[in-house]
Structure 1
């Protein structure tokens, strides 16, 4: 890797970790603000969809907050990886079922096929982003 790029990534790692944490905290809170929207994308073969929505919301908030402290950051990152793997079936279901999310705003209610299928490789990007934090950072 180019030395300049490596230096830039090193400088950005901490702020990007805080950004990641904030994104997950907000996403987790949304599970409690609009749980019905999330219930609609849970595959029908999974039990207790509302409980799963709340559980994943709690996990997102807790793990997002864990990204803010150097001692908990690696554990939170591993937890986020596990969470992203766990919610992958909901993204597959959303891509393959053509579900329309009642009560959501227009772009979210019925996303384009590109947006539906784009969520799947985005999970890989999010997992890679979290993986970057699985080792303690120097000078945290």
Structure 2
């Protein structure tokens, strides 16, 4: 939810790190912010497990699709003389991306739960 709000409130931060091959970066950033908000709201609603699973799958796919932008941001920062946000920011961010994918699926119930016993 926070990431979605940030995309809408401060889109320029995200536009700056968007790879050059992404068409219409301003519009893409706004659309992804709205998608993140919609996904978060769908995960939070308790009435439809099907909607929660769909939101989890969509957010997981989204997290996978933005990984190239994370790599692009990392490369941009490392090319700067001051290294921008630096390794202390980028390495955990990139290492945690698979965890975000898993978390979206797990929190939505899209992953089957193992029975203990």
**TM-score, normalization by structure 1:** 0.67
Compute the displacement of 1:117 (Å): 2.4
Separation (CA, whole Å) in 1 of partners of 2:111 and 2:37: 21
Compute the displacement of 1:87 (Å): 1.0
Residue equivalent to 1:58: 34
Alignment pair present for 1:78 and 2:57: yes
RMSD (Å), alpha carbons? 2.1
Residue equivalent to 1:42: 18
Conserved? CA contact 1:41–1:93, under 8 Å: yes
Compute the displacement of 1:114 (Å): 2.6
Task: Find the residue that maps to 2:72 and give its secondary structure.
Answer: helix
Ranges in structure 1 where 5+ consecutive residues have no aligned partner = 1-24, 101-109
> Where does structure 1 differ by over 4 angstroms across 4 or more consecutive aligned residues?
none
Conserved? CA contact 1:80–1:127, under 8 Å: yes
**TM-score, normalization by structure 2:** 0.80
Report the count of equivalent residues. 104
Residue equivalent to 1:91: 70
Quick one: which of 13, 30, 45 aligns to 1:69?
45
Ranges in structure 2 where 5+ consecutive residues have no aligned partner = none
Conserved? CA contact 1:32–1:57, under 8 Å: yes
Conserved? CA contact 1:95–1:116, under 8 Å: yes
